[in-house]
Structure 1
Amino acid sequence: MADTAIFDVDGTLVDTNYQHALALYRAFRHFDITLPMWRLHRAIGMGGDQIIAHVGGDEIERRHGSELREAWVEEFDKMIDEVRPFDGAHDLMEAVKSRGFRLVLASSGQSKHVDHFLDLIDGKSLADAYTTSDDVEASKPEPDLVATALEKVDGASGVMIGDSTWDCIAAGKLDVPSLAVRTGGFSVEELTDAGAERVFDSLRELADKLDDTPLARSAR
């Protein structure tokens, strides 16, 4: 049994994936590079230190990596006021917390973005801890974020709740079970193939079915 619930933020609790994909597309266009949006979307959820090489190749990372990440942030900042929380985000966190779990909101995003998103979902009133890119050396699909989340609350075992394949892969590297919601735009098959134990269409559905998941009751 787990004692810690680790919630991804971007794409899971707040609706950001398509803004991120568009911002990344526009960032590449700063350098006259055009990549297909569908491929960019499939990489969203991977951390900024990983994603440029993944979608553009090692040569683009070497030549433009830092500037592309800066442009991505610049373009995303233009859309950040459009970001809204998903229906039921705060209620789900509250339900999980009430079952005795430590609650960590695990993001590898920039501090200014994480703060904004946590305000949208009133996350700081419930979370025992949260993470930003400052807390990890390597982001998803590496497992650093999951490990850091557990360390921040002295958790013995966790459950990862995310929206992307990268959440599930990162958790699986530490044998942490993962639950996925389709809020990020990934298919059931993609998420289960990446290691998700269960996939839910929405946060409301997950909240309604907590008793059928590892979040039914905490080990604490």
Structure 2
Amino acid sequence: MTAKPGVLFDVDGTLVDTTYLHTVAWWEALRRFGHDVPMAEIHRGIGMGSDKIIDHLLGTDRDQDADPELTTAHDVLYGAWWERLRPLPGAADLLRACAGRGLAVVLASSAKEAELAILRKVINAEDALTAATSSSDAAQSKPAPDILQAALDQSDVDPHRCVFVGDAVWDVKAAAALDIPCIGLACGGTSAAELTEAGAITTYADPAALLRDLGQSPIAKLG
């Protein structure tokens, strides 16, 4: 099968407005286990998977036996918001516009499968998708590049003719590990300046802003 050009998309905080909900869920879960971590610190770690964020916030020199229970507490707390999740402005239209240019559109998510199903329903652009990944497709979450490699493998996207769209510094770092250019969106709460400093090739406020500039964006050069 011939590799094709495509766009890989992070989902949480990039296409669906979940970043601060994850922050609050981790904050409450951590407090239940005796860890008082400021929300600002938690927010800056969002984008990592649960296999990375707990170590990032609490360090590795600690008793890790309760980590599975802590992760479950986060998942339960966050799951209470599932039915109220909303897409970020322009999310579905952006995916369809990319597909309309003949590009493969791939969701490179490390969400668990049940959660990803909800996120896909919220985005409501199944007709535009070529493939989608979940946490079961990667040994490690971002900033490791595993989930992006899985997205490439599942979609036959040419790694030399693709870009990744994400909202977190960890997205930019994961893309850099595979030499994939990353477009940063500030709608997850990480500033354009921080995303640029991390290595994003350009930044936009949200999916709608990228859609408005699609013809002049790096995506336009992929076809």
Q: Same fold (TM over 0.5)?
A: yes
Residue 188 of structure 1 is aligned with which of 184, 188, 192?
192
Which residue pairs with 2:180 in the alignment? 176
What displacement does 1:213 show?
2.0
Report if the CA contact (8 A) 1:53-1:60 is conserved: no
Distance in 1 of aligned mates of 2:140 and 2:198: 19
Which residue pairs with 1:10 in the alignment? 12
Give, as a single letter, the amino acid of the residue that structure 2 aligns with 1:181: L
What displacement does 1:63 show?
3.2
Stretch of structure 1 that moved more, 147-156 or 77-86: 77-86
Give the unaligned 5+ runs of structure 2. Answer: none
Superposed counterparts of 1:29-44, under 5 Å? 29-44=31-46
Residue 146 of structure 2 is aligned with which of 119, 144, 147?
144
Report if the CA contact (8 A) 2:187-2:205 is conserved: yes
Distance in 1 of aligned mates of 2:77 and 2:62: 19
What displacement does 1:212 show?
2.1
TM-superposition CA deviations, 1:174-218 (whole Å, max 9, x none): 100000111100011110111110110121110111122221043
Distance in 1 of aligned mates of 2:200 and 2:62: 32
Report if the CA contact (8 A) 2:96-2:125 is conserved: no
Give, as a single letter, the amino acid of the residue that structure 2 aligns with 1:3: P
| Residues 1:164 and 2:184 are matched in the alignment | no
| Count of aligned residue pairs for this structure pair | 218
Which residue pairs with 1:210 in the alignment? 214
Residue 90 of structure 2 is aligned with which of 81, 88, 111?
88
TM-superposition CA deviations, 1:13-67 (whole Å, max 9, x none): 0000000000000111111211000000000011111110001111446232211
Superposed counterparts of 1:66-77, under 5 Å? 66-77=68-79
3-state SS, counterpart of residue 218 of structure 2 = coil
Superposed counterparts of 1:105-144, under 5 Å? 105-144=107-146
Report if the CA contact (8 A) 2:110-2:133 is conserved: yes
TM-superposition CA deviations, 1:106-140 (whole Å, max 9, x none): 11011111100101111322111000001000010
Report if the CA contact (8 A) 2:120-2:126 is conserved: yes
| Residues 1:64 and 2:66 are matched in the alignment | yes
Distance in 1 of aligned mates of 2:206 and 2:33: 37
TM-score (structure 2 length as normaliser): 0.94
Question: What is the Cα-based RMSD across aligned positions, in Å?
Answer: 1.3
Give, as a single letter, the amino acid of the residue that structure 1 aligns with 2:117: D
